[in-house]
Structure 1
Amino acid sequence: MSTPDACAPSAEADYSAGFDALVGGDDSKALELFERALAACPQHPYATELARLSRARLQPGGQLATAAASEVGRESRSRGARASLVVVQTMHGAAQGILLCAIGDCSGQGYVAASLLGAGAGAASSLLLTREGITDGQAAVINSGTVWGFWFGVASLLAFDLDSDEAFGAAILGGAGFTGVGILLAHLVNPTSGQVSLANSGGLWAGAVTALFLGAADSNTTQDFFAVELGATAVGILSMAILSKSVAVSRGRMLIIDAGGILGGLAGASAVYLASAGDDSADAILVGSGFGVLGGLALTTYLTRNFDAPDAPQVTLAPLTTKHGGTGVSVFGRF
């Protein structure tokens, strides 16, 4: 959308940036830019109306309908994201309380009290620290850090043959430490839910495929098995996290790709089983399942290459009040 020649280039730039911010859902920034454009060019025919629309969208209940923010791009804060964080961190707090009590050899009442205190601390801290809101991606990376932290703690127990107290300590440190890493990533990187899903899938499938191939080898001790699993999941998470910075992907597409991995694994195992006529070939089935998973992931990734492409105009409706006191609806969008 062009502006009159009478407006200075700086007003043109502010107006264009404000329009992009408004379409992207950043109403506060859009309003600031439109007001700056109007200060430089009061006669601007579009900035006045869009500034009024931005103010309306910022009012409680002022936005009638807005196109859903893309999971591939910048995400807005949502109550659902905050709720998911509270739920997971409540369970995290309860688990930490139980683990601490296990180290301290509490009584039955002590376990109950510790779990309640831990759950309360988890719920209260996640609520208080997100009073200004949180995005789906931020909640996902914090919750994922918690889950992966417990996995690495338990895997360390089995890989390094720790005694019971050391094992509980590893689980406590893993859960708390990786949750802290998730909080840092949420604030410093601010990933989208799609990026977090890609990293999680990388760790999940790297560990699953490695486990299938190691299970077929039949030459690994429990310690060796979980030591390799620790490395495989870590490499999977880190590699996909790095890839997510250059490859845009949504959470929905990742779910479909994960489903493709599951179907591929089942297909690979079934094919080997049927080809062997039901003979005892457990190792071959594990290998077939592993290659099936890899094939399913690769095929689904290719088939869903256009899954996140926009297929409809992005349109926003907002209430409009004219200078003469009339009311109506204003429509704008990106086509």
Structure 2
Amino acid sequence: MHRLGISLYPEHSTPEKDRAYMQLAAKHGFSRIFTCLLSVKKDAENTIAEFGSFVREAHELGFVVAVDTNEDVFERLGATPFDLTPFERMGVDIIRLDGHFGDQGDIMITRNPQGIQIEFNASCSLGLDLLIRRGADPRVMTVCHNFFPEPYTGLSEETFQARNAQYKGLGLTLAAFVSSREAETFGPWPVFAGLPTCEDDRRRPIDLQARHLLASGLVDDVIVGNCFASEDELAALAAVDTTRVTMRIDTVPDITDAEREVIWDFDHTTRGDASAYMLRSSWPRLAFKERPIAPRTWDDPMFHRGDVLVPNDNMAHYRGELEVALRDFENDGTRNLVGRIPAEELFLLDYIAPEHPFGFVRP
């Protein structure tokens, strides 16, 4: 099951602002909070007291809380891989390790008697399979990608996919970050260019960032890395269909009610006998076996990648099928153009495998 999360940085905010943001996110169904102890410089008792209060309030609203840590944080709090008492006092649910304690330490930290989940860095290539074979407990192990404040430093698509496959192959829950595009957002460090995991997501709308992460089929939890996202952004994330790859569509001005029905009233699944030229969803054909779809002329002699098409009465056997062009092919009058996928979303077509579900974002 997918979860949505927000990030909060209490040392750079106020309890009142944090509380209001948690309440807003909870209203939209968010259930994870990420926060960072790396940038906190207070002594152990003050840190435990302040973050303990923060965590209790988050729990009251139904959130699980992850804290980002490293060896310095452990030392400052008086914790070790063999003794997580300071984190237990804080009440945290997940300890994210931005650093490591050697194989033995990393194994033993997963065996903590408090049952605190241990989250490893999914953006690095770690031998977690070896740790599990040597005694680490996979039942408390998860992975979470980094976020990248500095422009042009986020993960490439190739690295993102490789790391995801590496850790999902172990059956571990995987989280990644999207970024609010609101002005004056912030994170744990004084860099303000957003906090995504993938570089290509940095300038995309927040719902498209999430649809990208989910399209990979390997990301479980989507977390907003910076704060504060607007309510519109939180609502847009909450509205994302997590069950399939979804794309926006710009419909043609003269689209008919029947063609709208084909687009939005069916669960689309690509055929297993896939074509290189188009995605095909054939189920709507059954509903239009005896119903007409009048041909409509389109001046362009070719269809292009991202064109959304519906066969018309000139190809009655396939009438009502929904098709999405993957490459250019001839417009021979047997298909009506009903819309186009926007250029910035065409990359999502690459994620739709044969026999996989897909759909379109309702306007």
- Superposition TM-score tier, normalisation by shorter sequence: under 0.3
The one of the two structures with greater contact order (alpha-carbon pairs below 8 A, sep at least 6) is 1
Query: Structure 1 length as normaliser, TM-score?
Result: 0.25
Q: Which has the larger radius of gyration?
A: 1
- State TM-score, norm by structure 2: 0.24
More strand by share: 2
Higher helix share: 1
